[in-house]
Amino acid sequence: MVDEDTVSVAVAVDTTPTFLVIQPGQPCVWQNTLYEITAILDLARVRLKNLASGAQEVAPVVELVGPPIADARVEQTAEQIVSAALAIASAREIALRPYVQSGDRVPHEEMQRLSQQLKLKPTRLRELIRTLREDPRPKAIVCSKRGPTKGTFTLLPDIESIVKVVIRAAVNEGKPYRLDALHENLKLACDAQGKAVPHPETLASRIPRYGPELLHRMRLGPKRAKEAVRGKAGRIRTTHALAVVEIDHSPLNLTLLDSKTRQPLGRAWLTIVIDRHTRVVLGFCISLEAPSRLTVALALVHAVLPKDVWLAERGLVDFTWLMWGTPQSFCTDRGDLGFRAVCDDPIQ
């Protein structure tokens, strides 16, 4: 079954593959225009809202791509502002234009309506109106995050590597976490190499990235802290469709007979390919042979190819099978088959 609230599909922008999570509220680009997904109609179609005009559209899922990503560290001009932020600013400018041009104070009822429509607080709306009265262009109210981009580091690479080594060494020791003792070890390591010693707060900010297990040791103890942050056997976590597919085999509960001698030929085997994230069936293979590399290969061929021709050859013209694509990795429950592959460029 496929979760109707969240569906993940692989789509391509130009020649670069990209994964887009299809869910209500997610921004996307369709026909070079920025939209917001408002509802999932079925596996093939979604309802979109134009962020600039507010118009509603119905679009195929396979034609959607992710919104452009801006680099907040680069000073942007009018031509460099990302289309996503500019489209949102344009929609806000259109909604606020009557109140900007009138110059009067916005009534309380109108302010509450605008607050619900634009999902902004009244104080923020009054600030936008004042800004637009000085500069009526949408560019004036484009939102951009200040400061460095989240996840960027300001330490020099050699000092960053020292911090990483010190934190990893503390994780391997298995001792309770103490920031002052950890910073003392960092000071000794930096002094040995003649490097500047980072501040204790800088060291503390690196612990969630390089040694999250340290944060749980004081509260949970070493054993439970290790279980909280490290992978557990038998659990496969995925973030999008086609990240991992599972291949399983099962004998069918029927026996095939020879059409002439009526002698039993044996039980047929079913090899099935299931996407781990969405739990949909991508392909299968039915054979009299026991599970082998051949049956796995045939099932994979059926999984990665579109099913339109396959359904038409069997007269199933009233049915649709939309799930197909090349997985990033796959695994089987038969370790002796030796199947394990990773695709650098997943395609759809």
User: pLDDT (tens digit, 9 = 90+) per residue, 39-92?
Assistant: 888 878 889 988 777 788 999 888 888 766 443 333 444 444 456 777 788 888
Please give the structure tokens belonging to residue 303: 């999984």
| Max avg pLDDT among 93-107, 184-198, 333-347 | 184-198
| pLDDT score recorded for residue 149 | 60
Mean pLDDT of 177-182: 83
Residue 143 in this model has a pLDDT that exceeds 80 = no
Q: Which residue has the higher pLDDT, 278 or 4?
A: 278
| pLDDT score recorded for residue 41 | 87
* Host H or E run for residue 309: helix 308-313
Q: What is the pTM of this model?
A: 0.36
What mean pLDDT is reported for the chain? 78
Binned at pLDDT 50, 70 and 90, residue 235 comes out as low
CA atoms of 43 and 27, how far apart (whole Å): 18
| pLDDT score recorded for residue 302 | 94
Helix (H, G, I), strand (E, B) or coil at 92: helix
Would you say 102 and 110 are in contact if contact means Cβ atoms under 8 Å apart? no
**Tokens 């009018």 sit on residue:** 78
Q: 56: which strand partners?
A: 49
Residue 28 in this model has a pLDDT that exceeds 50 = yes
- For the chain, what is the total number of helices (H) and then of strands (E)? 10, 11
Residue 257 in this model has a pLDDT that exceeds 60 = yes
CA atoms of 142 and 77, how far apart (whole Å): 11
Please give the structure tokens belonging to residue 227: 């279980």
Find, among 263, 283, 264, 280, the residue nearest to 272 by Cα.
283
Q: Which residue has the higher pLDDT, 282 or 293?
A: 282
| Angle ∠(97,102,105) on CA atoms, nearest 5 | 100
Helix (H, G, I), strand (E, B) or coil at 279: coil
Residue percentage of the chain with pLDDT more than 70: 78
| pLDDT score recorded for residue 307 | 92
The residue type of 50 is: N
Pairing mode, if any, of strands 329-332 and 244-257? parallel
Lowest mean pLDDT among 199-203, 234-238, 244-248, 284-288: 234-238
| pLDDT score recorded for residue 72 | 36
CA atoms of 207 and 205, how far apart (whole Å): 6
Task: State residue 304 phi and psi, 5-degree precision.
Answer: -85, -15
Residue 295 in this model has a pLDDT that exceeds 80 = yes
| pLDDT score recorded for residue 148 | 60
| pLDDT score recorded for residue 133 | 87
Lowest mean pLDDT among 32-41, 139-148, 187-196: 139-148
Cβ neighbours of residue 174 closer than 8 Å, sequence gap 6 or more? 222
Lowest mean pLDDT among 64-68, 160-164, 285-289: 64-68
Helix runs in 152-276, H state only: 157-173, 179-193, 200-210, 213-220, 222-229
Residue 5 in this model has a pLDDT that exceeds 60 = no
**Tokens 């134009």 sit on residue:** 50
Please give the structure tokens belonging to residue 26: 């997610």
Q: Identify the sign of the CA torsion 167, 169, 171, 177.
A: negative
Residue 221 in this model has a pLDDT that exceeds 60 = yes
Find, among 183, 186, 174, the residue nearest to 213 by Cα.
174
CA atoms of 128 and 97, how far apart (whole Å): 11
Please give the structure tokens belonging to residue 202: 């800088």
